[in-house]
Amino acid sequence: MKKIKRIVINSFMMLFFLASIKGQEDSLLVRQNDSLLTAYKNGKLYRLFQMDREETFMIKAGSELAVSSPILMENTQGALFVGFDIKPEPSLSVENLLFYSPSRSRSESFSLSSSIKYYYDIRKRIFEGRSANNFSADYIKFSIQQSIVRDVDLLNWNPDPHNNYTGWRYEPALMIGYGIQRRLWPYTFMDFSVSSRYNIAKVEFELVFLSLKFGFGLSKIKKHE
């Protein structure tokens, strides 16, 4: 329990840290001039987050730590994912990710998550020369999750782990939330989001759903001048 609480606290600290970085970036550009913009582009964070990298399609693969109802600590689950993110225009992207959550003590699942992300300030950042058209930006998202889940059968325990589950069931869900996504050097990325989730099958509403993803992101490199 202490480890889980530490993970949640660290996740919130990371969100606060990234938000403060964004605030520092914005404060640097109160006055637009060439020398200030040059200093900004030569900064370590600009290079770390690959802000000059132009990309509209990214293949993603990595791991996720998800926590629902973090105050009550009702459910913490790890998962592996693979998929893609594509931007039809600078402020919008369509993301499709396939998740596999291995069995721990409660359940096993496969999920397909389809999201529309709105990068609300990316056009302004591109216009000001602070960023190329890429995925290193804050966003608001709407997601549809389609999952098949099977639970550990605690009432009819079987020594054979392959026969120790209930049957598969279908669980669709809707999510809306806010997230921060950043490139970390050329081939990795992180994505932290806070969402509200409605499980249609169970008719359950989760006010707070935390998701922290780390993974590899592959795309064609194009530097923005």
Annotate the chain with three-state secondary structure: CHHHHHHHHHHHHHHHHHHHHHHHHHHHCCCCCHHHHHHHHCCHHHHHCCCCECCCEEEEEEEEEEEECCCCCCEEEEEEEEEEEEEEECCEEEEEEEEEECCCCCEEEEEEEEEEEECCCHHHHHHCCCCCCCCCEEEEEEEEEEEEEEEECCCCCCCCHHHCECCCEEEEEEEEEEEEEEEECCCEEEEEEEEEEEECCCCEEEEEEEEEEEEEEECCCCECC
What mean pLDDT is predicted for residues 89-101?
95
Residue 15 has pLDDT above 80, yes or no: no
Most confident of 100-104, 160-164, 171-175: 171-175
Length of the chain: 225
**Which residues are 190's β-sheet partners?**
182, 214
* pLDDT value at residue 46: 60
Mean pLDDT, range 42-52, rounded to an integer: 63
pLDDT for res 93: 96
Instruction: Count Cβ atoms within 10 A of the Cβ of residue 135 and give its class: 0-12 exposed, 13-18 middle, 19 or more buried.
Output: buried
CB 41 within 8 A of CB 53: no
| pLDDT (0 to 100) of residue 138 | 93
- In the structure, what pLDDT confidence band is assigned to residue 21 with cuts at 50, 70 and 90? very low
pLDDT, tens only, 29-44: 434 444 444 544 555 6
Q: Give the residue from 26, 47, 56, 218 showing the smallest Cα distance to 133.
A: 56
So what's the pLDDT on residue 69? 67
- Percent of the chain at pLDDT exceeding 90: 37
Note the pTM of the prediction, 2 decimals: 0.74
The pLDDT value recorded for residue 199 is 92
CATH of region 2-218 = 2.40.160.20
Partners of residue 143 on adjacent β-strands: 115, 175
pLDDT tens string 110-163:
999 999 999 999 998 888 877 878 888 899 999 999 999 887 765 565 555 555
Residue 44: per-residue pLDDT: 60
Render pLDDT for 176-214 as a digit per residue (tens, 0 to 9).
999 999 888 788 899 999 999 999 988 988 888 999 999
Average pLDDT for the chain:
77
